[in-house]
Amino acid sequence: MIQPSLLFLAFSTSIALGYNKSLITPQNSGQRPTVTSEALTTTIHGKNLVKHAEELLSFATRNGAGNRVFGTRSHNETVDYIKKQLDATGYYDTQLQTYSELYLEGTANLTVNGLAYDAEWMTYSPAGHIVGPLVSVNDLGCKQNDYPTNMTDKIALISRGACPFSLKVALAGKSGAAAAIIYNNETEVLQGGISQDALPEGPAVPACGISAESGQKLLADINARKTFNGALNITVINEKRYTSNVLATTKTGDQTNVVMVGGHTDSVNAGPGINDNASGSIAVLEIALQLARFEVKHAIRFGFWTAEENGLLGSIHYLSSLSADEGNNIALYLNADMLASPNFGYFIYDGDSSVFNVTGPAGSDRIERVLEDYYKSSGIKTAPTSLGGGSDHLSFMGFGIPVGGVFSGTDENKTQEEFTWWGGVAGAPYDACYHKACDNIQNLNVGAWVNNTKAMAHAVSTFAMSLDGVPRRVETKSDTVRRMLDGDSGSYWRNASRIVMY
């Protein structure tokens, strides 16, 4: 979970890097045609998107790790590639916003009576090597009396459900347990986390998650044997790493009414992150490269965010570094995250809160309508998706900035009704490789990617020329801080991390 104190700790360092090679050479300002939706959307081609994706995948594979986690060489190469492309246009004032972030990575290895089980480290749980008997916990482990009286140096086996993992782990620690294993109530291995802060109920102990099947097997074995020994080894990397956002602002256009467009550049540790989120950051990059052909009325700023997968850290850092006036100059924000899911849906953020009970800042409804109009004119059925989903638009929501964007789905299953709209496979995930090693080039639906990128380009071209329906934002820094700590948007911002806590 994101800590509100991060708002007050942000700092930035700007580094400018120059490149001579020209990819797209814009005409002088007076010679460029004014941008229109038709002109910009017709420049979007799948072959260009795929070419960028192949480059980003190569960064992940040639460095051995197979991912583009922030602070790694692979992610740094991603950032450098994006900035080099933007610099070559000569159309933007570009900036690297370089700073340090806390990097956490953990692994869990679990064996019981010599048999290995798939396990995932509970984010923020401490490291440790624990060997001892497994003991099952009564009920769901949410009350102290659920824990047997003699738990000293034992490993608690606890079911998921009813209360946060943090409480289960703290109560296990208070009972004397040396470690905790939480088994899922769903088929997959449980991936979750506990609070970064100590709980009054008890100390945090090393903890991991396992699948429902593994949990039930262990529970049955415990009930059948008097002695049942386990070994849990958790290793944790906890270090500061330098990382960068990339920012590119048009040199022309009204700098007091800035249209922002962004997507995150990092991946999870498990894979290269080509749908999540090379597809989004590449869409933003390609729109930026093609926009260099045109003139705009309102300045456009493209943001490529680091460390989204660790809790929207890059976009929060950027916004926290702005003065009140700089924040007020941002008219709206368009987010691109996961645009090419193989079993795709066409989802638009529910800016008018007509379906989901999450209200965006005033003007978010206008963004939704602009995107809906594009898909409708293209003969594509769309569906709303909640603004509460964990991506960088939440950071902008917390600062009172109108938000919107498109999305093609994660690991949730496509419904039968959605199958009639979009084809694909009903009952299967939109992206079965979400947060996995198989999120590579073969995991992309290029047709959906092109359509979603064109929709984003339509929104960029529309707002580049007119902000009708988007009210001017006037807010002080103290207003923003109060919203982040207490307001409705702040509650979503504070829970924006993708770490599952229950």
What is the tens place of the pLDDT at every residue in 88-107? 999 999 999 999 998 888 99
Is it true that 4-91+251-494 and 104-237 share their CATH fold? Answer: no
The span from the first CA to the last CA of the chain, in angstroms, equals: 12
Whole-prediction pTM = 0.81
**Per CATH, the architecture of 104-237 is what?**
3-Layer(bba) Sandwich (3.50)
Give the residue numbers marked as catalytic: 308
- pLDDT one-digit tens code per residue, 415-451: 999 999 999 999 999 999 999 999 999 999 999 999 9
Tell me the mean pLDDT in the region 472-488.
Answer: 58
Give the separation between CA 119 and CA 189, rounded to whole angstroms.
7
Q: At what angle do helices 279-291 and 446-465 cross, to 10 degrees?
A: 50
* 255, 287, 453 from 43: Cα distances, Å: 25, 8, 11
- Residue 495, pLDDT > 90, answer no
Band (pLDDT 50/70/90 cuts) for residue 227 is low
Compute φ and ψ for 300, nearest 5 degrees.
Answer: -115, 130
Give the mean pLDDT of 449-457.
99
- State mean pLDDT over 469-486: 66
Strands (DSSP E) contained in 314-454 are 330-336, 347-349, 383-385, 403-407
Give 224 or 478, the one with higher predicted confidence.
224
Q: What's the CA gap between 446 and 436, in Å, rounded? A: 19
Report the alpha-carbon distance of residue 174 to residue 422 in Å, rounded: 52
Contact between 208 and 214 under an 8 Å Cβ cutoff? The reply is no
Separation of alpha carbons 344 and 448, rounded Å: 7
Banded pLDDT at 226 (limits 50, 70, 90) = low
* pLDDT for position 196: 79
The CATH H-level superfamily of 4-91+251-494 is: Zn peptidases (3.40.630.10)
Summarize pLDDT for 370-421 with one digit per residue, the tens: 999 999 999 999 999 999 888 999 999 999 999 999 999 999 999 999 999 9
The pLDDT tens digits of the residues spanning 96-153 come to 999 999 888 899 999 998 899 999 999 889 999 999 999 999 999 999 999 999 899 9
For residue 135, what are its two tokens?
């003991």
Round the average pLDDT of the chain to a whole number and report it.
89
- pLDDT of residue 318 exceeding 90: yes
Domains of the chain, by residue range, sit at 4-91+251-494, 104-237
Measured from the Cβ of residue 482, the count of other Cβ atoms closer than 10 Å reads 13
- The confidence band for 477, taking pLDDT boundaries of 50, 70 and 90, is low
